Chain A
Amino acid sequence: MLTIQSGKIKPVLFLLLLLPLGMLAYRFYSDGFGANPIETINRYTGDWALRILLLTLAFSPFIRITRWHNIIQYRRMVGLFAFFYVCVHLTSYIVLDQFFDFSEIIDDVFKRPFITAGFSAFILLIPLAVTSTNKMVERLQYRWIQLHRLIYLIAMLAVLHFWWMVKVDTREPMIYAAILAVLLGFRLIYYIKSKI
């Protein structure tokens, strides 16, 4: 029987979560990013930020189905990686796309709904990242749980951010929306069941 030594999971997961960034670096050195590198980098980092964000929401349904409770200990790392990729994505927008043109950036944040949604998601993620330490969990107790429910809103904003950006082909954001709907729907069903 295959046994998994939990001590080895963490570093492996850490490296796996770094892989998207590694792939980005690899592409930079191999074939470049095509005719519009800044757009490519921006889309790529955005894609991975969203994927890893949704991955954090997959933990609790997964545990309920598999009863593999141990893996909950890795959720914090995945969540922090989601925040990390959001930061990389935002940096690529501020530095590469707008090159610190803050009047344009402020315009974008307030006038373009898809950027308003994305930026709000980033702002709301900050308190979650800040309160991710053991100490904070202990100090906040039940309020920590309440605070971290923000992730549902954040994930919805992130999907909207993508959906409102595309011109006509909404297939890809629809896939993410569907995954999010399943992940949140599972919670809803579980919540309703627990009330009955």
Chain B
Amino acid sequence: MLLKTSKPTDLKESDITDQAVYKDRRKFLQKSASITALSLAPSLMLPTMASADIGFDKIIKSDFSTKDELTPQDAITSYNNFYELGLDKGDPKRNAQQLKVKPWNVLVSGECEETGEYALEDFISPGKLEERIYRLRCVEAWSMVVPWVGVELGPILKRFKPTSKAKYVEFKTILDPENLPGQKREVLEWPYREGLRIDEAMHPLTILAVGLYGKELPNQNGAPLRLVVPWKYGFKSIKSIVSITFLEEQPATSWNIAGPREYGFYSNVNPSVDHPRWSQKRERRIGEFLKRETLPFNGYADEVASLYSGMDLKEHF
């Protein structure tokens, strides 16, 4: 039997963009943005073993998807805030190979009955992969429209049977300072950590993403497993998750530790609460020249505003 082992630096066939496609990428992306092209895309793909395992060949569409025009794939994969892979927006793509994503386990702990360490494939298995086209609003006042592939977080969390004490969920990113260049310096407290209130985590808009544009998630976008909470600023959507903990108390979160005046625990997108150093009223959609108005809860107010009824969102920013 012939065994071919691949080096981590080897490019997969799927990594290489055909030159003609690249040259013509804007037109190509416009086309692929249309619903017909998107429904064809998964079947055109050569599924790798792992992606076949978790079902990239049968991605379901979702009513939660926005109709906004998609941000081109090369922008989504080359303009990233992922400090573990470097502080410059271009660093995560350059250093993407430094993140080792196979094998990948997720440790589930805290206030739940089924604690344990789960292999990624088992962790995702019961969910059917869905495409969720969401707006992403960064706290730095830029935004994108991203076709994530993932599963709802709620049903996954329920499998671990959270107890009545589980009021919050804490997430942690991989800690690997030997490989991850950004973790060699303490710009943030490593590992990166984020948290949600349990009702936010259980909300049907909240997903765990494993893919992007119909394929496995590129490392710079938080492979192999990341959170996506579309009504919150992007930094809440923690990347490369290795740990999920159910907690009774609100967990400390990385950006809140770094700048408590600037980054709140909730960090819901809110045009009427400015960041102390810049306005949050408007945002630049990547690819557009003029800024557009930022919408409360990033345009998802109908779905999520009720989670915060009675709360002063200027205080709980």
A contacts, CB < 8 Å to B: 34-36, 38-39, 96, 98-99, 101, 104, 107-108, 111-114, 164-165, 167-169
- Interface CB pairs A-B, < 8 A, 10: A34-B78, A34-B79, A35-B75, A35-B287, A36-B89, A36-B142, A36-B286, A99-B289, A111-B274, A169-B87
B279 and A114 contacting across the interface, CB-CB below 8 Å: no
- Classify the secondary structure of B's interface with A: loop
Tell me the B232-285 residues at the A interface (CB within 8 Å): 258-259, 274, 276-279, 281-282, 284
B188 located at the interface, meaning its Cβ lies under 8 Å from any Cβ of chain A in the complex: yes
Number of interface residues of B (CB under 8 A): 26
A108 and B79 contacting across the interface, CB-CB below 8 Å: no
The answer to whether A35 and B78 touch (CB under 8 A), given A99-B290, A169-B87, is yes
CA distance A36 to B138 in the complex (A): 13
A113 and B187 contacting across the interface, CB-CB below 8 Å: no
CA distance A38 to B79 in the complex (A): 13
Q: Note all chain A residues with C-beta closer than 8 A to B274.
A: 111
Q: Note all chain A residues with C-beta closer than 8 A to B140.
A: 167
A107 and B78 contacting across the interface, CB-CB below 8 Å: no
B291 located at the interface, meaning its Cβ lies under 8 Å from any Cβ of chain A in the complex: yes
Residue among A111, A114, A168 with the highest chain B CB neighbour number at 10 A: A168
B42 located at the interface, meaning its Cβ lies under 8 Å from any Cβ of chain A in the complex: no
Determine which of A34, A99, A108, A167 lies in contact with B279 in the assembled complex, contact meaning CB atoms within 8 Å.
Answer: A108
Q: Note all chain B residues with C-beta closer than 8 A to A101.
A: 291
The 7 closest A-B pairs by CB, nearest first: A35-B79, A35-B75, A169-B87, A168-B187, A35-B286, A112-B277, A169-B187
CA distance A82 to B87 in the complex (A): 28
B72's closest neighbor in chain A, by CB?
A35
B181 located at the interface, meaning its Cβ lies under 8 Å from any Cβ of chain A in the complex: no
B277 and A113 contacting across the interface, CB-CB below 8 Å: yes
Determine which of B75, B277, B281 lies in contact with A114 in the assembled complex, contact meaning CB atoms within 8 Å.
Answer: B277
Q: Note all chain A residues with C-beta closer than 8 A to B142.
A: 36, 39
Q: Note all chain A residues with C-beta closer than 8 A to B276.
A: 112
Q: Note all chain B residues with C-beta closer than 8 A to A35.
A: 74-75, 78-79, 89, 286-287
A34 and B90 contacting across the interface, CB-CB below 8 Å: yes
Q: Note all chain B residues with C-beta closer than 8 A to A165.
A: 277
B79 and A36 contacting across the interface, CB-CB below 8 Å: yes
CA distance A29 to B87 in the complex (A): 26
A170's closest neighbor in chain B, by CB?
B187
